[in-house]
Amino acid sequence: MANDIRERMMKFFAQDERHIAINAVQGHFATSQSHINYYIDVTRIKIRAHEALEAAKSLKEKMLHHVTTVDTIVCLDGTEVLGAFLAQELEKGDFQMTNAHETIYICQPEENSVHQFMFRENVKPAIQGKNVIVLVDTASTGETVRRSADCIEYYGGIVQGIVAIFSTKDRIDKYDVYTLFNEEDLPGYATYEQHDCPYCKKGIPIEAVVNGYGYSKL
Q: Among 43, 44, 49, 55, which Cα is nearest to 19's?
A: 55
Predicted confidence (pLDDT) per residue in 107-163, tens digit: 999 998 888 999 999 999 999 999 999 999 999 888 899 999 999 999 999 999 999
CA distance 132 to 67: 10
Contacts of residue 82, Cβ cutoff 8 Å, sequence gap at least 6? 45, 46, 52, 55, 56, 75, 135, 165
CA distance 218 to 74: 31
- What residues does 164 pair with on adjacent strands? 136, 179
Alpha carbons within 13 A on the beta-carbon side of 33: 14
Q: What is the pTM of this model?
A: 0.92
